[in-house]
Amino acid sequence: MRLACLILGSLFFASASPAQPVFRAFASSVEQVEGGKIPTMVVLFGAERVTVRVPQGYGAQVQPEKMSVVFTAKDGATAITLKATTDSPGVMPEDDVLRSRALAANPGGAFLEMSTCPTGYNPAKYVDSVRTLAPNLSLKVRHAFVACPEGAVEVVLAANAPAFDNARVVFNALMSSLRVEQVKKDEPPPPALPGPIR
C-alpha cells in the first residue's frame, strides 16, 4: 500500500509565518575521495546552511511554504521530512517539552521511547511514537530535534510498521550526514528552488 500521501497528510507542519527567516533549498552534491558524487540537499534558513545527504532511492520535494523538504521512498511506505524552525534558538528544550511537541505533531500517537542520536553537528534527541490508522495498519514516527543558533532543525521519519526497522537505517545515515554552518555575508545567492528531485 502506498502511504506517502497518508504520511504527509498526517504530519502536521503548519505553514511558515511571514516573520520567519527566508527559507531556500536546492540540490547539490559532494565529491567522493574514491570518485563519483554524493547527492545532497542544501537548506538555507536565515544565516544558517543545513546540508544532508539525499537517501538513496528517495525522491525529494521542496515545500517552501512549510519551510521543509520531504524525502519519500519509491514505494511510498516511508517519508522523512526535514524542517527548519525558529523554536528555542540555541537551546535544546527539556525532554518533557520535546515529548509534548512530538506527540502534538502526531495526534493520537502513543509514546514509545525517547533517546539520542549523533549527527554531523550537535547530537539530536528523538521521540518515537505509534498511531493506529486501521485494524491492521499503524504508522510509526521518529521525531528528532537538533538545536541550532537560529532555532531548531526537526527531522521526522514516518513509516508503516513493517517498513520502520529498515527505514531507521536510512534515517540514521541521513542524521549522520547532517551539517549546520553559518552562511557568509558575501556568499553568492543559491540557485532557483527546484521541484521534485528524482
* Residue the block writes with cell 533549498: 25
Q: Which residue has the higher pLDDT, 73 or 191?
A: 73
Burial class for 90, CB neighbours closer than 10 Å (0-12, 13-18, 19+): exposed
In this structure, whether the domain defined by 4-182 belongs to CATH 3.40.1000.10 is answered with yes
Domain definitions of the chain by residue range? 4-182
What are the strands, taking DSSP E only, across the chain? Answer: 23-31, 37-45, 48-53, 58-63, 68-73, 78-85, 110-117, 124-134, 137-147, 152-160, 179-182
Nearest to 175 by CA among 122, 114, 112: 122
Model confidence, pTM: 0.85
The pLDDT of residue 197 is: 47
The average confidence (pLDDT) of the chain is 87
Under 8 Å between Cβ of 37 and 31: yes
pLDDT in tens, 144-173: 999 999 899 999 999 999 999 999 999 999
